[in-house]
Amino acid sequence: MTPPGSPSTHAPIPVEISRDLEDIAPLFLENRRKDLQTLRGAVGAQDFVTLQTLGHRMKGDGGGYGFDHISEIGARLEHAAKQHDLPTIELYIVELEDFLNRVTVLYR
């Protein structure tokens, strides 16, 4: 992972996905942005069930839309929620937000 403040920290993250997903991929990403609010609320409430559920959903859905990194974050988030590991969960939420802010979708 790139240290904060380094030049490549804000570099775009290109993700190639099928042109067949062109109409629904933006909605998928917007829903993950909405999930950030839910995740943060769940952290504040120490609602590990919601954290685990959202992580599980991201794990399953991300790859189907061509966003394998979202699936990876979801899997790690789900695991951390099972362990009630709030500091690690918070890191994964930041990682998800960073990914969503930098992802550039390329349709093939």
pLDDT of res. 9: 72
What is residue 7's predicted lDDT score, i.e. its pLDDT? 44
pLDDT along the chain (108 residues), means of 10: 53 96 96 98 98 98 96 98 98 98 97
Tokens 């917007």, located at residue = 30
b/e for 79-97, b at 16 or more Cβ within 10 A? bbbeeeeeeebeebbebbe
> Which pairs with CB-CB distance under 8 Å and at least 24 residues apart come from 62-65?
65/17, 65/21, 65/24, 65/25, 65/28
The pLDDT value given to residue 8: 52
Helix, strand and coil in the chain, % to nearest 5: 70, 10, 20
Structural domains of the chain, with CATH: 16-107 (1.20.120.160)
Evaluate the CA torsion angle 28, 29, 34, 36 in order and state its sign.
positive
Strand, helix or coil for residue 15: strand
Q: Are 15 and 105 in contact (CB under 8 A)?
A: yes
